[in-house]
Chains A and B, each alone.
Chain A
Amino acid sequence: MFEIARYEGRNRLKGSVYLSVGMALLAALVIWVYPSFSDALGGDELLEAYPQEMLQLFRIETMASLEGFLAFELYTFGWIILLGLYLAYAAAGAIADDVDRGRMDTLLAMPISRARLVAEKFAALSVPILVVNLLTPPAILLGARLIDEPLSVADVLAAHLLSIPFLFACAGIGLLCSVAFDRVGIAQRVALGVTFALFLLESLLAGTDYEELGAIAPMRYYDPNEILLESTYDLVGVVVLVAMTVVLVGVSQLVFRRSDL
């Protein structure tokens, strides 16, 4: 068991480290600009200049503290948008790329079921998800210390820990695209499109009559503002995200078992 997951996971390791370095650099940049930002504007004056939609889209609640600043500059933008899209994109290649490049026959000629192959390919995506969330928190905590704005270690760790089920759910969306389309380019584009559309759906419909629609978006169940500003950890959200992931992987397995390759 897990031979494919181990193999794929090993192949993803190097890229995951690069990804983590990139995200750590983004974090460093955000932390580095924060002091001059808060000195110049002293509070939330800038926020008043932004249109309400913009604040809502990027979930900007406050810039008056490093926590608030990080919540949207790093976690909303970096984790929810960038990493969410990255995982959806990477997962979209998991099956479709092998089918597209003629490698799937070689894999499936071995005694391995299609459901297991899908599950193991998906499991290998835990490598980027875990590596990026292991390597970046120390950089963020250290950076905050260097600018004398210490952060709550528990809250930062929680922001990363709770992002893990969110990122798996995004990967689940990509996985479903990967089995639904046999052309990898199409699978990846649809995965990016759907994930970003869900983000917009959840962000822009908040406070309108259609707010309920946002319930299908994984982004609803991961709120960095809540974690960093209020130290509130939404465990129900975690359960919902895990359930979403399980359903997406299950449906992907079902679709892949029935498809002609």
Chain B
Amino acid sequence: MAAIELEGLTKDYGEVVANDSLEFAVERGEIFGFLGPNGAGKTTTIRMLLGFISPTSGTARVLGEDVREERSLLEAKRRIGYLSDEPGFDEQQTGTDVLDLHASIKGDSRREELLELFDPPVERRIREYSQGNARKLGIVTAFMHDPDLVILDEPTNGLDPLMRQRFADFLRAERQRGVTVFFSSHNLSEVRRLCDRVGIIRDGKLVTIEPVDALLRRSGKVIRIRSADPIPIDVLDLEGVHDLETSVSDGHEGADPSTAFTECVFTFTGDINALLPRLADDELIDLAIEEAPLEDVFMRFYGGEDDV
């Protein structure tokens, strides 16, 4: 049984379909990244998974329990940890008061260990907390009862780089212990570091779902070429060349910039062995092949103007 199963999960607000027949499963023990730009519907999905809002059609199961049935979902919640995108705590209370309340309802077998790791200022009142401190306290509340599944909405917002790293290491260790992690993000470097698989959502629809390394493979390479003499642009007329930008540098006034280049940059998703022979006769000054930033791949999913 999967940790999370979406079965045509839909939330139709009339003027906008926030989630449109989402269908996928998160396997036990994996770290699943749920990606999309702001307003894509990530938080809507998460809030339906936890029963805060009800689907207009379709349903989902978390730890085998139907999210539309409050009673059965409550059973699942004993084994679920949740961190909201803006964790809200009672401003008048101290961190310790908040943790005590959570402990009284769901248990706190890992509280001390988590406090040592993330160190929110528990003796201070919540109203004095920075966004990062509130997030650290939220992480402790999400994991303190040793859940089997954690659902995290933009978990690293507001954390400093050191804490991000610590949190990433922590999540990997949790996966080793068999914990399932479902988290939403628009931070791609984070996803690349952490996730086993990624689902991408845009305008409420699932665009793709695949292992993160496949996504990286598909993301291709960024290739930069500088040549001593102009090269005809049609050399690069082959499959897998995207976003080609060319220019002619000074000193080659005879060359027509619309048909030739001395400098170019493009994203390449094709076979490198098909590309290099085409440049074999040209004298290159520089050739750089770099991994494409995931942001570009991401843009391609959002932008919709390119085929991916």
Binding site for B on A (CB under 8 A): 3-4, 6-7, 11, 98, 101-106, 108-114, 257, 260-261
- In the complex, the answer to whether B90 meets A103 with C-beta atoms within 8 Å is yes
- In the complex, the answer to whether B53 meets A261 with C-beta atoms within 8 Å is yes
Of the residues A4, A11, A103, A260, contact of B52 by C-beta under 8 Å: A260
| Shortest Cβ distance from residue B286 to the other chain A in the assembled complex, whole angstroms | 52
Of the residues A4, A7, A105, A110, contact of B47 by C-beta under 8 Å: A105
Of the residues B51, B78, B89, contact of A106 by C-beta under 8 Å: B89
Closest-by-CB residue of A relative to B11 is A260
Interface of A, secondary structure class, is helix
Chain B interface residue count, Cβ-Cβ cutoff 8 angstroms: 31
- In the complex, the answer to whether A105 meets B84 with C-beta atoms within 8 Å is yes
- In the complex, the answer to whether B70 meets A3 with C-beta atoms within 8 Å is no
A interface footprint on B209-239 (CB within 8 Å = 1, 0 otherwise): 0000000000000000000000000000000
- In the complex, the answer to whether A261 meets B52 with C-beta atoms within 8 Å is yes
Binding stretch for chain A, among B101-109, B257-265, B291-299 = B101-109
- In the complex, the answer to whether B89 meets A103 with C-beta atoms within 8 Å is yes
Known: A105-B84, A106-B84, A108-B52. A7 touches B101 (CB 8 A): yes
- In the complex, the answer to whether A3 meets B50 with C-beta atoms within 8 Å is no
Q: Which of B90-116 contact A (CB under 8 A)?
A: 90, 92-93, 97, 101-102, 104-106
Known: A7-B101, A102-B86, A257-B70. A108 touches B51 (CB 8 A): yes
- In the complex, the answer to whether B80 meets A109 with C-beta atoms within 8 Å is yes
Interface centre among A11, A101, A106 (most CB of B within 10 A): A106
- In the complex, the answer to whether A260 meets B51 with C-beta atoms within 8 Å is no
Known: A103-B90, A260-B52. A110 touches B84 (CB 8 A): no
Interface of B, secondary structure class, is mixed
Known: A11-B93, A105-B50, A260-B53. A111 touches B84 (CB 8 A): no
Closest-by-CB residue of A relative to B52 is A261
Closest-by-CB residue of B relative to A109 is B82
- Give 26 CB contacts A-B under 8 Å: A3-B104, A4-B101, A7-B97, A7-B104, A11-B93, A101-B88, A102-B86, A102-B88, A105-B88, A106-B82, A106-B87, A106-B88, A106-B138, A108-B51, A109-B81, A109-B82, A110-B77, A111-B74, A111-B78, A111-B105, A113-B71, A113-B74, A260-B52, A260-B53, A260-B54, A261-B53
| Shortest Cβ distance from residue A19 to the other chain B in the assembled complex, whole angstroms | 17
Interface centre among A7, A98, A257, A261 (most CB of B within 10 A): A7
Residues of B within 8 A of A111 (CB): 74-75, 77-78, 105-106
CA distance A95 to B80 in the complex (A): 23
Closest-by-CB residue of A relative to B43 is A105
Can you name 4 extra interface pairs (CB under 8 A) apart from A102-B86, A104-B52? A103-B90, A106-B141, A111-B77, A111-B78
| Shortest Cβ distance from residue B149 to the other chain A in the assembled complex, whole angstroms | 12
Residues of A within 8 A of B104 (CB): 3, 6-7
CA distance A88 to B70 in the complex (A): 29
